[in-house]
Amino acid sequence: MPQIRFTRFRKKAANSKAVDPAEKKIMKKEPLKWEFKKVSKAMEQLSPSFQLGTKGRRITGTLLKVRNPKDFNGLFAPGDKLLYIHFETTRQRDAIELVKTFSSKEILKEIQQRGYKGICGDTPNEALAKLFEKHGGTDLKTKIPRLIELRERLRYFLNMLTRSYPRTYLTKPLQRVVLKF
């Protein structure tokens, strides 16, 4: 018996790798990159014009013009431009890092300079909504319009198939989180 334990130990030791100090420097995360993309007028409400992060773990944003102020508890006037954001990650650590970077003064100032009056997002993830609230946003606790709810459910269904989003996102109620400048 003692020999078997010793051989198992040797196999584990042979398979594990010690991390070289030079590799540790490479493994450190670089700051997340963000950019505003040029989008045609016809596609500005469909195609993302803002991106923070890389594919698989990023925040994308599209233009949303306020038509009905009741949908936002009267915080915004009709015609105001909002940046409608969407998280593309299922890992909680990535979401925390994205929200911290996104709520930096530099990014929020750039969004404001581009004429946006605020940021809006709909999510079934309660933890994500609370995290966004912690960084200055508010949960409106209003009923989300049916068309927007259907669009988000379709988005979550497609992401469930391609990006392994949890099935619970299809049945959980959506929360609307906004940040007004």
Supply the pLDDT for residue 3: 52
Task: Answer yes or no: is pLDDT of 13 > 50.
Answer: no
Summarize pLDDT for 54-106 with one digit per residue, the tens: 877 888 899 999 998 988 888 999 999 999 998 887 788 888 888 888 888 89
The number of folded domains in the chain is 1
Instruction: Find the domain containing 164 and state its range.
Output: 32-180
What amino acid is encoded at 18 in this protein? Answer: A
164 in a structural domain: yes
Summarize pLDDT for 112-124 with one digit per residue, the tens: 999 999 999 988 8
Task: Answer yes or no: is pLDDT of 11 > 90.
Answer: no
Can you tell me the mean pLDDT for 10-33? 54
160 in a structural domain: yes
Q: What is the CATH number of the domain that holds 158?
A: 3.40.630
Supply the pLDDT for residue 78: 94
Q: How confident is the model at residue 14 (pLDDT cuts 50, 70, 90)?
A: very low
24 in a structural domain: no
Which among 44-48, 132-136, 146-150 has the top mean pLDDT? 146-150
Mean pLDDT taken over the chain = 80
2 in a structural domain: no
64 in a structural domain: yes
Contact 61, 49 (CB under 8 A): yes
123 in a structural domain: yes
Within 8 A by CB and 6+ apart from 5, the residues are none
Q: How many CA atoms lie within 13 A of 11 on its CB side?
A: 6
